[in-house]
Amino acid sequence: MVAKLKSDPHLEIAHVLFIDVVGYSKLLVNEQREVVEQLNQIVRKTPQFRKSEAARKLIKIPVGDGMALVFFQTPEEPVQCAMEIARTLKNHPHIRLRMGVHSGPVDQVKDVNDRTNVAGAGMNIAQRVMDCGDAGHILISKRVADDLAQDRLWHPHLHELGEVEVKHGAKLGVVNLYTEELGNPDVPQKFRQLGRQAKMPRSGPETKPGKLRWALVAAALIIVGALAVGVLLWSRRGVPTSAGVTGPATPGLANVPAMPEKSIAVLPFENLSEEKANAFFADGVQDEILTDLARIADLKVISRTSVTQYRSGVARNLREIGQQLGVAHVLEGSVQRSGDRVRVNAQLVDARTDRHLWGQTYDRDLADVFAIQSEIAKTIADQLR
């Protein structure tokens, strides 16, 4: 006899908008408080928020450096609210958000303070969608996009990005929502990386599990943070240059054309792993360093496209590369994985003199990669203090 299935009376479909303040952790405590207060006011004043709240069909949940808005009527509610927030933020450029939307099953529960909270796949996936974006992005799941695509009001503004692997190896279809005035039309960094990985030649069948592959990516991101800080610290120290620039003259610089002191090119990192398919990992390290350095306002950073021609394996003359790109410094390095260990070597060179300025080797155990995040973050904070 087939057992009779019991339905959960608390389970319902919700339409969730997750909001995250980009760069929140880098703000001072009083700056964080000010940004959250301003964001709360902006969100509360949006017409969709007020309409859903008046109908008592909205649950508001503070989530660390952002919030989750859970709507219970139509999938258009969170999308409309996101667009209204984005429109208001045009007058508040210092508040940089990324937003994600998904519709899915949730369960209303009571938290430790006896307040209504929400849990379930609908919440988790909405957050995963948001995590795929960069500042300014309004990303929605393929499920929500399929519903909105039936409406000619939304259809022209839906731009499919494809599938991405998220936590626990799940595949998630993501769509970018933007108009001529609102949203971010750029492809998110996460999808640009996936596109490059797909183009990499592979020798033999894929044997390493998905979990290990994403651990490698996580290791790269952690190591990259430390590398970028090292470059930043050195660039802010300043190095001896030719006449006309503060500091003693260095022999051999008299005939070298003047270049911006704070300028750098990050050359493609060499993949030293036995598995050549790990080349995507080396590319990811380079890309993340470029992204971090590009955030420094007074530092000239050469684009990835301009340095691709200097890929490892080709004889490099750093002086010539510096002159061709018009930079004073060059960062080069290598990446190697052996079993559950990853080693990244990096060195900063003065391209005008071919002088080695800074170098570091980073060894990380993949099994401990997540546990050491707080340790590395503290080290970086201590160095910048």
Beta strands (DSSP E) in 31-136 are 58-63, 66-71, 97-110, 116-119
Q: What percent of the chain has pLDDT above 70?
A: 66
With b for 16 or more beta-carbon neighbours within 10 A and e for fewer, the 187-224 pattern comes to: bbebbebbeebeeeeeeeeeeeeeeebebbbebbebbb
Q: Which of 341, 323, 351, 342 is nearest to 332 (CA)?
A: 351
Instruction: Tally the residues of the chain.
Output: 385
Positive or negative, the Cα torsion across 58, 62, 66, 68? negative
pTM for the model stands at 0.51
Average pLDDT over residues 7-17: 76
- The residue written with tokens 């919030």 in the block is 67
CA distance 263 to 229: 15
CA distance 307 to 314: 12
Specify the range with the lowest mean pLDDT, choosing from 65-69, 230-234, 263-267, 281-285: 230-234
Query: What does the pLDDT read at residue 1?
Result: 40
Average pLDDT over residues 33-56: 95
Does the pLDDT of residue 120 top 80, yes or no?
Answer: yes
pLDDT by residue (tens digit) across 77-101?
999 999 999 999 999 999 999 999 9
Query: What does the pLDDT read at residue 195?
Result: 63
Does the pLDDT of residue 68 top 90, yes or no?
Answer: yes
Does the pLDDT of residue 220 top 50, yes or no?
Answer: yes
Average pLDDT over residues 274-282: 61
Specify the range with the lowest mean pLDDT, choosing from 93-107, 112-126, 217-231, 269-283: 217-231
pLDDT by residue (tens digit) across 316-348?
788 888 888 888 888 887 777 676 677 777 778
What the chain holds in terms of domains, given with CATH numbers, is 11-186 (3.30.70.1230), 210-242+255-384 (3.40.50.10610)
Q: How many CB atoms are located within 10 Å of the residue 243 CB?
A: 8
Higher pLDDT, 283 or 249: 283
Does the pLDDT of residue 72 top 80, yes or no?
Answer: yes
Of 28-42, 240-254, 288-302, give the range with the top mean pLDDT: 28-42
Query: What does the pLDDT read at residue 300?
Result: 80
pLDDT by residue (tens digit) across 354-377?
888 777 777 776 554 344 334 433
pLDDT by residue (tens digit) across 156-208?
999 999 888 877 677 889 999 999 999 999 999 888 877 655 444 444 444 44
Confidence of residue 241 (pLDDT cuts 50, 70, 90): very low
What is the pLDDT of the chain when averaged over all its residues?
76
Specify the range with the lowest mean pLDDT, choosing from 2-11, 167-176, 302-311: 2-11
Tokens linked to 259: 């270049």
Confidence of residue 7 (pLDDT cuts 50, 70, 90): very low
